[in-house]
Amino acid sequence: MHNEKLQDVGEFGLIRRIQRQVGGGDHLVLGIGDDCSIQRQDNSWELLTSTDLLIEGVHFNRQWISMEELGRKSAAVNISDIAAMGGRPKSLFLGVACPGDIPVDELESFSRGFVAETNAYDAVLAGGDTCRSLGPLMISVTVQGEVESGRAIRRDGAEVGDAIYVSGTLGDSALALQQLLAGKQPNRYLLARHNTPTARVALGRRLVQEQLASSMLDVSDGILSDLGHILEASGVGAEIELARLPLSDEFRAALQQDGSLLDLALAGGEDYELLLTSPLKNLSEKTLSSVDLTRIGTICSQPGLQVKNQDGSLYRCSRGGFDHFG
């Protein structure tokens, strides 16, 4: 169809079309479609690469985040894609397109935050590009990392009967954004969850080293959408139990005022937690004690994703996951 608009096919429809134009390469173990590409090397490690854009007005608003925090967040969300494969980050590359009137000290604050965050994960800023933008501030980050050959935790390994786990808590970042959009000031905890997320690198590394996960990704668009990617890649379905979703005290407090906020934990986005499947049913209690993982559901053979209320009835989420063009 010639007159089809981007809104009609959505972000993921466009990516599928690009994917169809691309052939494989001998050096590529995995190309488009996962959190990172995987490239063979002449040693026992594979090279992981991922790239992300952050655009002012789309991904951030300078009123609500300091430039230093924006630098930290730009590094962390990219490193999160390395964590999502179970890898360790090594080098980051930073492209910045700046409006000419931004004060230099703000850009220095940005790079200070970016470098500090990068170094906190034992990675380094290794290059980039800088140019003028006639519109918004635009940030492009590429990260390279590595993982033991054959051990990367991909999206296509979930099997029927696997348990589904998620790290940390869900919905905090989306709740903070919703409050900011409504002109309210989120409390410190919620704002930090939105402005300075943490990449779960150490957890990803443990899962690889102990070979505990069958599939994994990081939650950037909400678990409904992101679990959907695992289901599609693995050719399976899933059931999630609403009552098991891990929620922070701050999120629960807001939920008491407005029950509809629960959908932010399912489809809010920007959690940057790890969502994984494992054949083991009790990862958190025994195998990975001290790790912050909650079991939220099970992989099943029936296609699709069902969210169940405590009484077994079906829950309908009123939001779709985040799609840039949806």
Q: Name the binding residues for ATP.
A: 128-129, 155, 220
Of the candidates 1, 2, 4, 18, which one interacts with ligand ADP according to CB under 6 A?
18
Number of neighbours of residue 236 by Cβ within 10 angstroms: 22
CA distance 185 to 20: 45
Annotated binding residues for substrate, as ranges?
59, 270, 322
Least separation in angstroms between CB 195 and ligand ADP:
19
Of the pair 33, 136, the CB lying nearest ligand ADP is at: 33
Interface characters, 27-66, with ligand ADP (x: CB under 6 A) = -----xxxx----------------x--------------
Q: Would strands 305-308 and 237-241 be described as parallel, antiparallel, or unpaired?
A: parallel
Of the pair 1, 18, the CB lying nearest ligand ADP is at: 18
Of the pair 36, 261, the CB lying nearest ligand ADP is at: 36
Of the pair 81, 162, the CB lying nearest Mg ion is at: 81
For residue 152, CA distances in Å to 38, 58, 233, 325 come to: 8, 31, 15, 30
DSSP secondary structure of 211-252: T--SEEEE-SS-HHHHHHHHHHHHT-EEEEEGGG----HHHH
Residue 56 interacting partner from Mg ion, ligand ADP, none (CB closer than 5 to 8 Å by kind) = none
What would the two tokens of residue 72 be? Answer: 């930290």
CA distance 220 to 237: 20
CA distance 4 to 23: 25
Residue 34 interacting partner from Mg ion, ligand ADP, none (CB closer than 5 to 8 Å by kind) = ligand ADP
Q: Does 239 bind ligand ADP (CB under 6 A)?
A: no
Do residues 85 and 218 make contact, with C-beta atoms less than 8 angstroms apart? no
| Apex 55 CA angle, 69 and 118, nearest 5 | 40
Least separation in angstroms between CB 278 and ligand ADP:
20
Total residues contacting ligand ADP (rule CB under 6 A)? 9
Residue 241 interacting partner from ligand ADP, Mg ion, none (CB closer than 5 to 8 Å by kind) = none
Residue whose Cβ sits closest to Mg ion: 35
Least separation in angstroms between CB 324 and ligand ADP:
9
Element containing residue 59 per DSSP (H, E)? none
Least separation in angstroms between CB 286 and ligand ADP:
30
Q: Which residues bind ligand ADP (CB under 6 A)?
A: 15, 18, 32-35, 52, 81, 220
